[in-house]
Amino acid sequence: MRLLCHVGKGKCLPTRLTDLNRLGIEHKKLTEIKSIVENSKMQWEPWIESAPSFKDLLDKLRRRGYRRLPMCNKTEVDTPHKTVSEHVIRQLPNQKTMTRRGTQPI
């Protein structure tokens, strides 16, 4: 698990990012992110997910069985907190997921 950048305040379910260009990030930062993804494509794939805070994100990931999570919210690419606009997040494909017992739907 690696944090690449902050995405803003829009809500989105965990969604696989197949086209990083759709995020609308400035070219220099997008090139950095693409390089990281390309160098690590055999170990993991890029996903986007929203959470009110870093602690809430870690809690969500732990409930889904993720281990070896980052200890702090420092990202690998230095970007402002509102790198991706809410408009772009709303245009991402809506993933249909089942609600797990004991969890609240978004």
- pLDDT reported for residue 10: 66
Residues of the chain with pLDDT below 70 are 7-10, 79-106
3-class SS shares of the chain: helix, strand, coil, % to 5: 30, 5, 65
What are the extents of the domains in the chain? 15-90
**Does pTM top 0.85 for this prediction?**
no
- pLDDT reported for residue 59: 93
- pLDDT reported for residue 29: 84
Which parts of the chain fold into alpha helices (H)? 27-39, 54-63, 86-90
Amino acid (1-letter code) at residue 13: L
- pLDDT reported for residue 12: 75
Alpha carbon 63 to its chain centroid, in Å, reads 16
- pLDDT reported for residue 20: 84
Which residue(s) pair with 47 in the sheet? 16
